[in-house]
Amino acid sequence: MSQESGAIDLSIVIPAKNEAKAIGDVVKTARAVHPKAEIIVVDDGSTDATAEIAEQAGAVVVRHPESLGNGAAVKSGARAARGEILALMDGDGQHDAREFGKLIEKLEQGYDMAIGARDSGSHANVGRLFANGLYNGLASLISGTRILDLTSGFRVARASYFKMFLYLLPNGFSYPTTITMAFLRSAHPVCFEPITAATRKGKSHIRPIRDGVRFLVIIFKIATLYSPLKIFLPISGVFFATGLGYYAYTYFTAGRFTNMSLLVISAAVIIFLIGLISEQITALTYSKS
């Protein structure tokens, strides 16, 4: 079943900030491929003509008076969208709206979200390819699902489910990580389809040092979003084994139980309890989804 048949109500949301060089072509291509779709460009505080060019190309433009972040733009677009199917793509020319078709087909097969997985040649540099591989591996390990591209901004989802998780999404660039793990945690089927991302037009908004630190936080967030105990329990185990081992050492060498052993074992118990409480909070967070 395709959007062109009129059986699927599709909204395409395109977050954009200072993408005047690319946004016109992005919207025109999306309009040509999906003429019945609702196309929404969220202008996230651009200082160029992004909004005007998007409107001229045929998009509905939602404006932020100042830059709130990529995730905030996605949330604004999702709230404004009226379609049953929500499609997301970047406004920098990397994504091709013609590839939405195979993702929509996956929804027709029963999936609730389909994500475009970029091939190795689609990443801007080796560092970003390595980072994404690290995120994918960790997320796959934690979720028990093979995740091919955790941070891809090219995806389609059932709008009703996507909107349920808007309150969880951060305002920055890590929204794809959050929404993917939220769908998996709530047992919504997610699949990945290979795509090729082109070289972006214009300047990237990613900053290696600042975003490198932020992505390290994302790695921890992946676990805490899905199952906190999978992080806290091993850490607690390491502390407990260390404390117990040190106690055995001091007992056999000095015949006493030291304060350091007590401190490390107590830390193990505290970390475990924090993980247990976090697990309960996570369960409550997703209980209505």
pLDDT in tens, 16-67: 999 999 999 999 999 999 999 999 999 999 999 999 999 999 999 999 999 9
pLDDT in tens, 131-141: 778 878 888 88
The pLDDT of residue 37: 95
The pLDDT of residue 6: 45
Return the CATH superfamily for domain 3-225. Answer: Spore Coat Polysaccharide Biosynthesis Protein SpsA; Chain A (3.90.550.10)
What are the phi and psi torsion angles at 157 (to 5°)?
-155, 160
- With pLDDT > 70 as the criterion, what percentage of the chain qualifies? 85
Q: Which residues pair with 193 in a beta bridge?
A: 116
Q: Which residues pair with 39 in a beta bridge?
A: 12
Distance of CA 64 to the CA centre of its chain: 21
Evaluate if residue 4 carries a pLDDT over 50: no
Residue 218 vs residue 15, higher pLDDT: 15
What are the phi and psi torsion angles at 55 (to 5°)?
-65, -40
The pLDDT of residue 185: 86
Give the separation between CA 29 and CA 34, rounded to whole angstroms: 8
Q: Indicate the pTM of the whole model.
A: 0.78
- Please answer whether residues 195 and 118 qualify as being in contact, where contact means their C-beta atoms are separated by less than 8 angstroms: yes
Region 171-195 average pLDDT: 89
The pLDDT of residue 103: 96
- Which helix or strand (DSSP H or E) is residue 63 part of? strand 60-64
- Which helix or strand (DSSP H or E) is residue 14 part of? strand 10-16
Residues 6+ apart with CB under 8 A from 99: 116, 154, 193, 195
Structure tokens at 111: 């999936």
Residue 111 vs residue 278, higher pLDDT: 111
Give the separation between CA 242 and CA 237, rounded to whole angstroms: 8
- Which helix or strand (DSSP H or E) is residue 55 part of? helix 50-57
DSSP 174: T
Give the separation between CA 270 and CA 59, rounded to whole angstroms: 53
The pLDDT of residue 207: 53
The pLDDT of residue 289: 58
Edge-first strand listing for the sheet containing 113-118: 60-64, 38-44, 10-16, 85-88, 155-158, 113-118, 190-195
Give, in degrees to the nearest 5, the angle at Cα 118 between 115 and 119. Answer: 140
DSSP 228: T
